Structure 1
């Protein structure tokens, strides 16, 4: 359970989770365009 909290503590991951929760569908290229990380990150 501690790993889950560590993962969610990351601001980029929180933004990603919020995007996924708010979107009906979100293609990967649209998602990655909103972040300063690569697709493999």
Structure 2
């Protein structure tokens, strides 16, 4: 998963993990339902 983003050019593995986590959370349909359930 991180190989497609080519994190080899960026010597910063921590920021890449955060970006992937954010993208996954936004792309994950489970998070949307979880967020909606938490909102109401």
Please give the range of the TM-score, normalised by the shorter of the 2 chains: 0.3 to 0.5
Q: TM-score, normalised by structure 1?
A: 0.38
Q: TM-score, normalised by structure 2?
A: 0.39
Larger CA Rg, structure 1 vs 2: 2
Q: Which has the higher contact order (CA 8 A, sep 6+)?
A: 1
